[in-house]
Amino acid sequence: ASLETYYSGLMFTGYLKDVAKPVLLGGRYDQLLKSQDMNQSGMGFAIYLDEAFLSERQTASLAIENEYLKIALPKGRMAQKVIEIFEKSDLCAKDTLKDNRQLIFTDEEHKLQFYLVKPSDVAIYVEHGVADIGVVGKDVLMESQPDVLELLDLNFGKCVLAIAGFKDFKQDFNRPLKVATKYANQTRDYFASIGQAVELIALHGSIEVAPLLGLSDVIVDIVETGRTLKENHLEVLKVIAHSSARLVANQAAYRFKQVQMNEVIKKVAQQL
């Protein structure tokens, strides 16, 4: 049963410092007892000992970096904009992230550590608690649904997730539509929602090439300036979703590093 039908009304989670995931989960079980013909309310919780003990093993290494707020940033086109915001709001020293071949940067003065990672991996670092906060596109969050807290819409990195193809594309209704994409979950959900049968072709990049070479009929991909589509003689046929950069936080770190984190959130928000 899903948690919502299992528990009734009250649900609670417990966290331990330095453990990325909840170590305790509980709530009221009225429904559960009713289903077993017991006319009374109940409440209980479980403690995840493996998570809690794992934390003990990790504590030694985490203690060294603990004083730093650890921030995962997306390499590439969004990175520059995020760095600009951090520098402008005096969250990090100017030129902290200047050497563009380095991937880990430390600002001793502000006690910040930045990790430059692949945009689609930012939320993974945050979910696992390796980074406390991160900047990630809503498109990535919608696709992979990581267990992170979404704190702020940063209002840049705006783009759409769209179906694109040749302008004069005519669908052959005698067979499923062939769709190439990096966004398999959202593509599947969208076409299911309109009752359209599709054959999904999962690619990792340069999606626009697929219809040019006849691998697919259309693509579902991110369109920002529209330049890539134009250069490949394709165009947007239908917008599926809108996206922009979001500031996200690790569930446990948000509760244990609130002072540091609120400072960052406040200063970043002032720049928007």
**Closest distance between ligand PRP and the C-beta of residue 7, in Å?**
40
**Closest distance between ligand PRP and the C-beta of residue 39, in Å?**
57
**Closest distance between ligand PRP and the C-beta of residue 205, in Å?**
3
Q: Which stretch binds ligand PRP (CB under 6 A): 56-64, 123-131, 217-225, 240-248?
A: 217-225
Q: Is 52 exposed, middle or buried (0-12, 13-18, 19+ CB in 10 A)?
A: middle
**Closest distance between ligand PRP and the C-beta of residue 219, in Å?**
9
Of the residues 207, 245, 248, 252, which one makes contact with ligand PRP according to CB under 6 A: 207
Of the residues 35, 100, 206, 270, which one makes contact with ligand PRP according to CB under 6 A: 206
**Closest distance between ligand PRP and the C-beta of residue 109, in Å?**
33
245 is an interface residue for ligand PRP by CB under 6 A: no
Of the residues 73, 148, 223, 249, which one makes contact with ligand PRP according to CB under 6 A: 223
Please give the sequence-ordered ranges of beta strands (E in DSSP) within 29-147, or none if there are none: 43-47, 69-74, 104-107, 112-117, 133-137
Q: Give CA–CA dist 157/138, Å, rounded.
A: 9
* Contact between 212 and 232 (Cβ < 8 Å): yes
* Contact between 139 and 221 (Cβ < 8 Å): no
218 is an interface residue for ligand PRP by CB under 6 A: no
Q: Which stretch binds ligand PRP (CB under 6 A): 32-40, 55-63, 104-112, 205-213?
A: 205-213
* Contact between 215 and 181 (Cβ < 8 Å): no
Tokens of 216: 């697919």
Phi, psi of 61, deg, nearest 5: -75, -35
Distance of CA 241 to the CA centre of its chain: 15
Contact positions toward ligand PRP, by CB under 6 A?
205-208, 221-228
